Amino acid sequence: MIRRNPWLYYGRKALAFLLSVLVLSAAAFYIARLAPGDPLVSYYGDRVERMRPDERARAEEKLGLNAPIHVQYVRWLRGALQGDFGISYKYKTDVLEVIGGRVGNTLILGGVGFVLIFGLSLGLGLFCAWNEGRWADRIVCRLGTVTSCIPEFWLSLVLILIFAVNLRWLPSGGAYSVGGTGGVGDRALHLILPMTVTVLGHLWYYAYMIRNKLLEEARAEYVLLAKAKGLSRRRVLFKHCLRNVMPAYLSIMAISVPHILGGTYIVETVFSYPGIGTLSYESARYQDYNLLMVLCILSGVVVILFNMIAQIINERIDPRMRDAEIVETTEVTGVGE
Amino acid sequence: MDEILLDVRGLTHRFRLNRRAVVRAVDGVSFQIRRGEVFGLVGESGSGKSTVARCVMNVYRPTSGQILYKGVNVCDPRQFRANRAMLQTTRQIIFQDSTSSLNQRMSVADIIAEPMAIHHIRPKRGTLRDEARFQLKYVGMDASYLDKYPSELSGGMRQRVAIARALSMEPELLVADEPIASLDVSIQAQIINLFRHLQEEHGFTFLFIAHDLSVVRYLCDRVGVMVAGKLVEVAPTAELFDNPLHPYTKALLSAIPIPDPRRERARTPYAFDPARFERDGELVEAAPGHLVLRKGGGAE
Amino acid sequence: MNGRQTEGKNNSPALLEVSNLSVSFDTPQGELQAVRGVSFALREGEVLALVGESGCGKSVLCKAVMKLLNRNARVKSGSVKVDGMDITNYRERDMERLRGKLFSMVLQDPMTSLNPTIPVGEQITEAVRVHEPKLSRAAVRARVLELMRLVGIEDPESRYRLYPHNFSGGMRQRSVLAIALASRPRMLFADEPTTALDVTIQAQILDLLREVQRKLGTATLLVSHDLGVVARVADRVAVMYAGRIVETGTAEEIFYDPRHPYTWGLLRSLPAWAEPGQPLYTIPGMPPTLIDPPRGDAFACRNKYALAIDYEEAPPMFEITPTHLAATWLCDPRAPKIAPPVGGEARG
């Protein structure tokens, strides 16, 4: 048996990861600075308009904006490696502190949303596969296709109109009531609408994938043999088919994490939910460079990390992939005959 | 019959699986095919017989060894480039699975004429379509099939189209890689007859790769037996079937099912233990024209 | 077709009795009549081979009996009796109880018929557990190891945890056989069990089938296109053409004294029967499409001995001996006598 050296394997993965983050940071840094706009506005507010040129130069120097971009980048990188990501121009505090105050909200929205999507799409997919071709399956398929086509921002607005403006059952935005205590009930109430939009936006895509993969598996020969040995349809579907669909599903779900997160950014903005999404939007809008950089890298890290996790899941979970080398050698020498 | 058309010398092809594991798919294989003969290469799955065919057709580049086709070493890039047109037109291959080897979106006429169009050969019979009609007739199909698509044809018909396409270049060497394995018994017979007709009446030279020994026995002039990448025995067909020398050949021959209940039930297959297979050794001439792999190259 | 052929003079009772079974598929082109009024019987402890070319309906027949057909298939008529008990109208839940216990199946390609992500031992275990859920863990394991030994898997303890891809083709097919035999079925349907295997392995698997069948007395329905395979293991043979059984008899009768022109054609087109230097015999033409099958004898247009009546009326099963029946008008006493072009022994 030939086994890969795990240190080498993960070492190489980590190296690729760091390299990607470095490239990402440089790209984000340059693009942000080349974009039109005045970063001083976010720091000094309206005062900028009344500044004299020499005051302006001093202000730029104070924020380190006068040097060429590559020098600025090296400076930023040196600071970042020591854990100093600079201050937010808008909030005048350490960037990490600003983000720390918001990240929890996004994690609640995105995390719970992800778990819901994961579970519901599995259940819905199984339900449809079980009822393949019957009316239940057909109705769910039609409904699913329609909901997955509705843009999130539009759905958000419609839901706000119905439930917040007309019916007044639910709050229209924010994470908790103004001046409220932020108790669990209050927060949950504020989460209902954004959560609904996040889940509905992604649910059917994954449920439909599960359904079709299951049906594809159900046509495989081993299913015929499993039925021939007397297994019930339920057991064949749940044990045999589901098991073979899971690796693909898990890796797709891992890739979906950044996707769902990206969806929450839009949802957050529409619902003015104080999370990373709204913060990113603001930082880009106000040229809050330091904040933007960290948010960019944070999102990038999530994307890269989960793609890698997906890849590792794919390689680990399927026994054929796990010992791909052994397969080949066995085939050739015909071990065991 | 004595001109050697294809001379394979010490052909070795290794597939690298990863940094440590290498599979010797073909290991030091040498044989010659004379002009106008049908040379059969038999072996079980994974024996390397298809890899040999692909090396001969320049699909794979062998790790070492030479393949001389009409005196040109096709493995040598310089010689290959110098003779590219000749090599690509006079050698043709037919695959097992005609469903995947024919483009589903091309009509039969286009499939057959495509090689001629690619090589800018002026059709002898006027237009490319006439040429396609002629080739189709040659393999026993009439002109009504010209505008059909592969999906509208049966397996046997598709295989005929694949043969017609190969014949359109007027090749000298036809490599057939398991051309009948996926066909039904009665269709198999038709294709075998077609091959036989092509060889007898038109003098084509064949490298015929197969695992069905009763077909090989019927069709081939000489047979080479491969196991685990090694060529273990080469002999004229009758000689090989009457007097197999290598233990693997004996096992293979004894495994041919006979469509006759009394004799089939009395037959005990000769067991061959792959674990004890001796890879080393070289081909020695045990009888005139009958080569067998023996250790040390000496007598028994 | 009438039920006459199901009787015969063999004394053992019929375990499986299929009469006048018709199966159709709904296709975009129309109704495809895959099986058209087939009747046969499988007796306790015998091996019956169903022979025919692809598309003749032999695999569909097997699946129809086990009710494992896809949704687009319909059983149009006929009945299936097991031990005299009619299971034609059984529902899925009732069939689940029978599958594995009463009849079981071995498929053509062992690579695709095993679940690639479950270890082989576990797949056999599952088959043992289905019908004996109360068995203790140790007893199940002992039974699995016993099954693995029965089908010739050496050193089962260490192979128990291996995955299908760790096995060679022959070992995989042995594992499939172990699964099929797990609940001691009384009937085994083997659908082209050796087609995907190498020649040298083929004989081993066939002999194993035969040996298991003798040891356990399992009645076997072998579906094959390969007459060599059939010659090795079959007690009786049924030849199928275009959805019908055209000839049935003992292996000796079919190979040495065939009566149907299609059987003649099949046997004559084998290279093993060919005269050296002569072209192989080929059956002219193509099998008919079963979407709109021809009237009368479906083989008539490919049959040079065809009589006028062949194009009008499908022939009934004529009895040649009590075990040997053939559906061809040539067996009618009024038909001209024709010396069969084949029969006797193969060379080689």
Give the pLDDT confidence of B1-30 residue by residue, as tens digits. Answer: 478 999 999 999 988 766 566 777 898 999
Closest by CA position to A128, among listed A212, A227, A246: A212
CA distance B59 to chain A (A): 21
Within a 10 A sphere around the Cβ of C313, how many other Cβ atoms? 11
Of A183-187, A281-285, A327-331, which has the strongest mean pLDDT? A281-285
| DSSP-H helix ranges across chain C | 58-66, 92-98, 110-113, 120-131, 137-150, 156-159, 169-181, 199-216, 227-233, 251-256, 261-268
| Residue recorded with tokens 């992939």 | A321
Binary contact (B21, A333; C-beta < 8 A): no
Binary contact (C346, B260; C-beta < 8 A): yes
Look at the alpha carbons of B253, B255, B256, B261 in this order and tell me if their dihedral is positive or negative: positive
Q: Which residues of C touch A336 (CB under 8 A)?
A: 154, 159, 166-168, 171
CA distance A249 to chain C (A): 15
Q: Which of C184, C201, C219 is the last residue of a domain?
A: C184
Position A319 confidence tier, pLDDT thresholds 50, 70, 90? low
Whether residues C77 and C175 share a domain: the answer is: no
Q: Which residues of B touch C203 (CB under 8 A)?
A: 255, 257, 269
Within an 8 Å CB–CB cutoff, is residue B151 touching chain C? no
Whether residues C180 and C204 share a domain: the answer is: no
Work out the average pLDDT over C32-53.
92
Does the residue C71 lie in any domain?
Answer: yes
Binary contact (B274, A334; C-beta < 8 A): yes
Has residue B214 got a pLDDT over 60?
yes
Identify any residues that bridge with C73 across adjacent strands, giving them in sequence order: C25
Work out the average pLDDT over A237-250.
86
Closest by CA position to A105, among listed A295, A298, A276, A292: A276
In angstroms, rounded to a whole number, what is the distance separating the alpha carbons of residues A313 and A321? 10
Has residue C237 got a pLDDT over 90?
yes
Whether residues C133 and C226 share a domain: the answer is: no
Whether residues C196 and C179 share a domain: the answer is: no
Whether residues C69 and C170 share a domain: the answer is: no
Position C329 confidence tier, pLDDT thresholds 50, 70, 90? very high
B265-280 pLDDT per residue, tens: 888 878 777 767 777 8
Which residue from C159, C168, C180 is facing A229, i.e. has the nearest CB? C180
- What's the burial of B119, exposed, middle or buried (CB within 10 Å: 0-12/13-18/19+)? exposed
Identify any residues that bridge with C49 across adjacent strands, giving them in sequence order: C222, C237
Does the residue C193 lie in any domain?
Answer: yes
Q: Which residues of C touch A133 (CB under 8 A)?
A: 71
Which residue from B252, B260, B263 is facing C199, i.e. has the nearest CB? B252
Which residue from A325, A334, A337 is facing B17, i.e. has the nearest CB? A325
Position A333 confidence tier, pLDDT thresholds 50, 70, 90? very low
- CB B135 within 8 Å of CB B160: no
Whether residues C234 and C327 share a domain: the answer is: yes
Position A320 confidence tier, pLDDT thresholds 50, 70, 90? low
Does the residue C255 lie in any domain?
Answer: yes
Has residue A89 got a pLDDT over 80?
no
Nearest CA in chain B to C204: B269
Half-sphere CA count of A139, side-chain side, radius 13 A? 5
Position A313 confidence tier, pLDDT thresholds 50, 70, 90? confident
- The arrangement of strands across the sheet holding B222-227 comes to B91-94, B173-177, B205-210, B38-42, B222-227, B230-236, B290-294, B282-287
Does the residue C46 lie in any domain?
Answer: yes
In angstroms, rounded to a whole number, what is the distance separating the alpha carbons of residues B268 and C311? 45
In angstroms, rounded to a whole number, what is the distance separating the alpha carbons of residues A7 and A13? 10
Residues 6+ away with beta carbon under 8 Å from C143? C128, C135, C182
Q: Which residues of B touch A333 (CB under 8 A)?
A: 228, 274
Nearest CA in chain B to A336: B275
Has residue A331 got a pLDDT over 60?
no
Cα–Cα–Cα angle for A40, A41, A42, nearest 5°?
Answer: 90
Which residue from B192, B256, B261 is facing C255, i.e. has the nearest CB? B261
Binary contact (B262, C252; C-beta < 8 A): yes
CA distance B15 to chain A (A): 10
Binary contact (B215, C271; C-beta < 8 A): yes
Residues 6+ away with beta carbon under 8 Å from B160? B136, B139, B140, B141, B191, B194
Q: Which domains does chain A have, with CATH numbers?
A: 95-285 (1.10.3720.10)
| Residue recorded with tokens 């018709």 | C22
C271-280 pLDDT per residue, tens: 887 777 788 8
- What's the burial of A24, exposed, middle or buried (CB within 10 Å: 0-12/13-18/19+)? middle
Within a 10 A sphere around the Cβ of A49, how many other Cβ atoms? 10
> How many distinct structural domains can be found in chain C?
2
Binary contact (C100, A320; C-beta < 8 A): no
C159-189 pLDDT per residue, tens: 898 888 888 888 999 999 999 999 999 999 9
Identify any residues that bridge with B33 across adjacent strands, giving them in sequence order: B6
From residue A249, how far is each of A208, A252, A254, B215 by CA, in Å? 11, 5, 9, 47
More confident residue, A3 or A116: A116
In angstroms, rounded to a whole number, what is the distance separating the alpha carbons of residues C233 and C48? 9
| Residue recorded with tokens 């975009």 | C28
Binary contact (C131, A230; C-beta < 8 A): yes
B135-155 pLDDT per residue, tens: 888 888 888 888 989 888 888
Q: Which residues of A touch B18 (CB under 8 A)?
A: 2, 325
Of A178-187, A317-326, C29-38, C161-170, which has the strongest mean pLDDT? C29-38
**B residues 197-226 lying closer than 8 A (beta carbon) to C:** 197, 211-215, 217-219
Work out the average pLDDT over A192-212.
88
Please report the pLDDT score of residue A308 as a whole number. Answer: 83
For an interface test with B, which of A332, A333, A335, A337 has the most B Cβ atoms less than 10 Å from its Cβ?
A: A332
| Residue recorded with tokens 């096995």 | C167
Which residue from A325, A334, A337 is facing B21, i.e. has the nearest CB? A325
Does the residue C57 lie in any domain?
Answer: yes
CA distance B61 to chain A (A): 20
* Dihedral of the alpha carbons of B100, B104, B108, B112, in degrees to the nearest 10: -50
- What's the burial of C293, exposed, middle or buried (CB within 10 Å: 0-12/13-18/19+)? middle
Has residue A129 got a pLDDT over 80?
yes
| Residue recorded with tokens 């008529």 | C77
Q: Which residues of B touch A329 (CB under 8 A)?
A: 17, 21, 23
C55-89 pLDDT per residue, tens: 888 889 999 999 998 888 999 999 999 988 899 99
Does the residue C109 lie in any domain?
Answer: no
Query: In chain C, helix, strand, coil percent, each to 5?
Result: 35, 20, 45
Phi, psi for B16 (deg, rounded to 5): -90, 120
More confident residue, C222 or C154: C222
Nearest CA in chain C to A225: C113
- Looking at every residue in chain C, the average pLDDT score rounds to 88
Kindly state the tokens that stand for B152.
């509208």
From residue B2, how far is each of B6, B33, B243, B284, B288 by CA, in Å? 12, 9, 24, 21, 15
- CB B95 within 8 Å of CB B177: yes
Whether residues C195 and C180 share a domain: the answer is: no
Has residue A1 got a pLDDT over 70?
no
Identify the domain containing residue C155 by its residue range: 114-184
- CB C76 within 8 Å of CB C22: yes
Does the residue C205 lie in any domain?
Answer: yes
> Which region among A313-322, C13-22, C42-51, C93-102 has the lowest average model confidence (pLDDT)?
A313-322
CA distance C97 to chain A (A): 6
Work out the average pLDDT over C293-320.
89
Q: Which of C184, C209, C237 is the last residue of a domain?
A: C184
Whether residues C215 and C311 share a domain: the answer is: yes
Subunits next to B (3 or more Cβ pairs <8 Å) are A, C
Subunits next to A (3 or more Cβ pairs <8 Å) are B, C
In angstroms, rounded to a whole number, what is the distance separating the alpha carbons of residues B180 and B40? 13
Whether residues C67 and C190 share a domain: the answer is: yes
What's the CATH code of the domain at C272? 3.40.50.300
Whether residues C251 and C210 share a domain: the answer is: yes
Binary contact (B17, A337; C-beta < 8 A): no
Has residue C121 got a pLDDT over 50?
yes
Closest by CA position to C70, among listed C104, C34, C105, C94: C34
Binary contact (B23, A325; C-beta < 8 A): no
Q: Which of C132, C166, C184 is the last residue of a domain?
A: C184
Whether residues C40 and C67 share a domain: the answer is: yes
ipTM value of the model? Answer: 0.82
Position A326 confidence tier, pLDDT thresholds 50, 70, 90? very low
CA distance C282 to chain B (A): 6
Does the residue C47 lie in any domain?
Answer: yes
Binary contact (A231, C115; C-beta < 8 A): no
Q: Which residues of A touch C221 (CB under 8 A)?
A: none
Whether residues C166 and C212 share a domain: the answer is: no
